[in-house]
Structure 1
């Protein structure tokens, strides 16, 4: 079994890290460059940087913040938000990112996944999936534009298609659990992990150390991503890793 990864997420809006609940009511959480450097020192395995308003505002990711952040860290760094063509990917990778996260643009144009994978390799392409339970369907639906628009696409069908097109990894966010600190969405995470062979990063709902144990064992996730608990110093990465080790979870 591959060692599990712990990944802090920096949701960036107007040059600041923000965090909300269920994708709403955002509050300030600090400077992205400073937080990235801190998490690198603390032993995070990777970092995810999401320019959360880029797709909605129809603009490109903040290159300068990406460049500064990349200069402060030595761990792998995924950047997403506002990336809608291969040239955008190239620009972000040149600025220092190791992987590209695509969400809205991939749903609107699935060929972007294949084009990116062909140009830069599957290992560079992380397809981010924002999913919410659809009562009428009895399964999860994919949302786009920062969780604002229902796509009408079933999440399990979409993750299989993303894998077929060349995605190297999935960043799966449960919109129902996001920011609640009530635990990861185990049903969603395990369903997606069972549907694909590529790594699944679970996101949304982390509140305690045991939530990570659960998402790695029952949820079958390859990585656990969180924001609120790390940004507001509720749990530190070193103590989380220590706890996981003691509970028999293999981590880096």
Structure 2
């Protein structure tokens, strides 16, 4: 049985690292290159960098920064943000990045996932799915670009992305983002029961027990978090950290 990957998700804004709560109020937390160097020392399984403004601003990814991150990074690296065509993916991969995460454009143009997977292989293509509850508590796809003409059935969309060739799904709960109160296990179960490709659970982790629950109960193939890896203590002092590998093995991760 494959072990569960534990993955820091780091948000980029204007070449700096930020952290949000429920996708709002990004707080500057430091330099991304420095964070990569610390995570190298801590033998992190994988890193995901997401540029939170590239798609909203309709601009290209920050290629120079991506190249610097990939050069420093000793572990597999995934980048997302501003990806709208094949050439953009090609340029990102040339920097040494192993995978790309596609979010907004997958909602707007699902067939692009099929095209990207056919060119670069499914293992390279991660579809990032942001989910937010409506006033009735129903799960709905969330688009950071403000596009409201997107499908509402989250599980059906996940299945469609798998059918079109996505190799992995990054499932993020907007409502739990940055709260450190635990994952939305119901949401994770809903998606992992729908697809056969790996699902990375994200949004809400505050302790190792949350990772265990998302993996063992939710069925996630990997668990991801932001706040728990960059904040320490009740006052949320910035401190880049990561559990020791032996600590993760002890709890079955």
TM-score class, shorter-chain normalisation, is: over 0.9
Contact 1:209–1:243, Cα closer than 8 Å, also in 2: no
* Separation in 2, partners of 1:173, 1:49: 14
- 1:144 corresponds to: 143
Which consecutive unaligned segments of at least 5 residues does structure 1 have?
none
Q: Deviations over 1:185-217 (max 9, x none)?
A: 111011101100000000000111111111111
Q: Which runs of 5+ in 2 are unaligned?
A: 234-239
**Residue 35 of structure 1 aligns with which residue?**
35
Answer yes or no: is the 8 Å Cα contact 1:140–1:156 preserved in 2.
no
Q: Could you say what secondary structure the match of 2:176 adopts? A: coil
Alignment of 1:199-214 (within 5 A): 199-214=198-213
1:31-65 CA distance string (max 9 Å, x none): 11111121122111110010110011110111111
Q: Normalising to structure 1: TM-score of the pair?
A: 0.93
Task: Note if 1:215 corresponds to 2:219.
Answer: no
- The partner residue of 1:236 within 232, 235, 241 is 241
Matched position secondary structure for 1:54: coil
Given that 2:104 and 2:143 are in contact with CA atoms closer than 8 Å, whether structure 1 keeps it comes out as: yes
State the alpha-carbon separation in 1 of the partners of residues 12 and 80 from structure 2: 10
- Secondary structure in structure 2 of the residue aligned to 1:10: strand
RMSD over aligned Cα atoms: 1.6
Q: Distance in 1 between matches of 2:246 and 2:213?
A: 16
Secondary structure, aligned partner of 2:243: helix
- Aligned partners of 2:9 and 2:49 also within 8 Å: yes
Contact 2:151-2:157 within 8 A present in 1 as well: no
The CA deviation at 1:149 is 4.9
Q: Which residue of 1 aligns with 2:109?
A: 109
1:145-184 deviation per Cα after TM superposition (whole angstroms, max 9, x unaligned): 26x5553421101000000000000000001111011001
Aligned residues: 246
Q: Can you list the C-alpha shifts for 1:220-247, whole angstroms capped at 9, x where unaligned?
A: 11111111111124683234x4333222
Matched residues in 1 for 2:26 and 2:181: separation? 18
> CA contact under 8 A between 2:39 and 2:241: conserved in structure 1?
no
Alpha carbons 1:200, 1:222 under 8 Å: kept: yes
Query: How do 1:15-26 and structure 2 match up within 5 A?
Result: 15-26=15-26
- For the pair 1:246 / 2:250, whether they are aligned, the reply is yes
Larger % of helix: which? 1
**Match in the other structure for 1:45:** 45
